[in-house]
Structures are given as structure tokens and as C-alpha cells.
Structure 1
Amino acid sequence: MLKLLLALSIGAFFVSPLQAGEIQPVIKACQPGAKHCERWTAEFPTALQLALKGNHAAQQTVAFCLSSGCHDAVVIDRVASCSWHLVIANSGASTVLDASNLRNTCRPMTSAQKDEARANARELVRKIYNRDPAATDQM
């Protein structure tokens, strides 16, 4: 029994953490009759799939929902939202509004949160565009 407990305690140090870029947005349950929430609950998973395929408008939707909650349909995750804004900045289709959204979302975060967002974005850019992100991130 002691060997088992020792093995389990040592094994806890070797459990791999969630990989950067594996942002798992959480869809919330809507209140009855909350039509806007129900709409976003239905549409967000599709937007996320399209965003992961490089669709610029879908990436904007995902970033927006992660920062606003989209009528309480998605759990707000500012780090994930910032990550998606960094992906958009690296998409080649970024607009002035996208740059403004990136600054407004990412600048208020702590250094640790920004580092996490950069790491997530780096993995997402590699996954989506099969390349490294640009050196500057406009934060």
C-alpha cells in the first residue's frame, strides 16, 4: 500500500498540464425564455469550429463572446479572448478595429495573464496557420 501511495504521489508531478492553445470555452445554460442567450449557445460552437479553420469573422465572434459572454451564453474568459485577438492580429486579415479590440482586451491584464495569452495564441497560430506568430503582439 505504501508503494502505491508513493507511486501516486510521484506520478502527480509528471501529469502534463493543459497544453497552451487548448482553450476550451464553456457554454452556459440559459435562463428559460432568454432568446439571445439560446441563439448564442447554439451558434458559438459553430463559430469556434470555423475560427479554428481560419475564418476571420468567426475568430472575431469567438474573441467577442469570450470577453462579453454573448448574452450570458459563454463563460467570460479574458485570457482566452486576448489569445484570440492575438490570433486575429496574426491572421493577415486584421483591421484597425481588430487592433483596437486587442488593446482594449489585453492591456488591462496582468503580466502573467498576458504571458498565458501569448502562449495560447502561439499554439493557436501554429495550429491554424501552420507558422509561428509575428514577433510583436501590440499589447
Structure 2
Amino acid sequence: MLKFLLALAIGVFSVSPLQAGDIIPVTKSCPSGESQPNCERWAKDFKTAVELAYKGDNGAQRTVAFCLSTGCHGAVTIDQVASCSWHLVIANSGSTTVLDGSNTRNTCRPMTAPQKDEARALASGLVQKIYKRPLVKTDQM
């Protein structure tokens, strides 16, 4: 979370191609050993999923939200606020399932009020960028 806030603060003072609502996920260096191939595969898949998620691919959005919540076998830095934001994007995609609602509740409800506000703000920017419309509030938080 601290890395995210630092990146956000630096972005305010520099010219960046990123827009409001962008979430910069952080992949990690996979440790050597038995789990390294699995971690490297997840890191590669995650990077692809992020690109597709910003294009509106619902499955990719689920992958991004999942990896930001779980770390995807050590390949991604866990960021609950960013994960919640992507779950809110999914809730606004028009392609939700019962499982999506459960994932949103499980990810977002345990967060503090300021974290929820941050997640809503990030999701609002993402929904605007991806779907060209405002975020519809959900009661699942």
C-alpha cells in the first residue's frame, strides 16, 4: 500500500501518461526454487490480464482483482484497495455473477472507511476510462 501511495504522490508532481483511476499493480521478483516457474507464469499472465482488463475484458478483470487480493503465488504485491476497486469495476461491467458479488463483499467489507473511499475513487476513474460512464454505487461494500 505504501508503494502505491508513493507512486501516486510521485505521479502528481511529474508528467505521466497515466490518467486518474489508473491502478499500477506491482509484480514481484519470483524467488528461485521449486515455486519459481509457477510464480513466473502467474507474473506473465497477470501482466497480460492487466492490459486486457483496461480494455474491458471481464475475465481479465477477475484475474487482476484475484491476484491483487491473493498475490498469485507470490507474483504480485497484495493490494486490497486496488483489488476492491477492480471488484467494483466488475460490478459495473454488466457481466456479473453471484460469485462476483461474493468476491466484492469478501474483499471490500473488511476494509476501513477511508480504504473504501479510496477504492470507490479508483473504481470511479476506472469505470469512466473503460466504460465511458460514471460508477454505479453498489451496496456490497
TM-score by length of 1: 0.85
The answer for the alignment partner of 2:12 in structure 1 is: 16
User: In structure 1, what is the Cα distance between the partners aligned to 2:38 and 2:112?
Assistant: 32
Q: Alpha-carbon deviation of 1:31?
A: 1.1
**Residues 109 and 140 of structure 2 are in contact (CA less than 8 Å); yes or no, is this contact kept in structure 1?**
no
Distance 1:25 1:117 in 2: 14
Judge which range, 39-48 or 107-116, deviates more: 39-48
Aligned match of 2:128: 126
Superposition deviation, residue 137 in structure 1: 4.5
Larger Rg: 1
- Tell me the alpha carbon deviations over residues 10-66 of structure 1, each in whole angstroms, 9 at most, x when there is no partner: xxxxx8379641211001000124121010111111100000000000000000000
Distance 1:122 1:135 in 2: 9
RMSD: 1.6
C-alpha distance in structure 2 between counterparts of 1:121 and 1:137, whole Å: 14
**Equivalent position of 1:28 in the other structure:** 28
Cα pair distance change 1:110/1:19, threshold 3 Å: farther
Show structure 1 runs of 5+ residues with no match: 1-14
SS in 2 for 1:29: coil
Amino acid in the other structure paired with 2:12 = S
SS of 1:45 mapped into structure 2: helix
Change (3 A) 1:19 1:112: farther
For these two proteins, the number of residue pairs brought into alignment is 125
Letter in 1 for 2:23: I
Which stretches in structure 2 are left out of the alignment for 5+ residues?
A: 1-10
2:84–2:108 Cα contact (<8 Å) kept: yes
Instruction: Select 1:77's aligned residue among 68, 76, 79.
Output: 79
Contact preservation (8 Å) 1:78, 1:105? yes
Distance in 2 between residues matched to 1:52 and 1:43, nearest whole Å? 15
TM-score, structure 2 normalization: 0.84
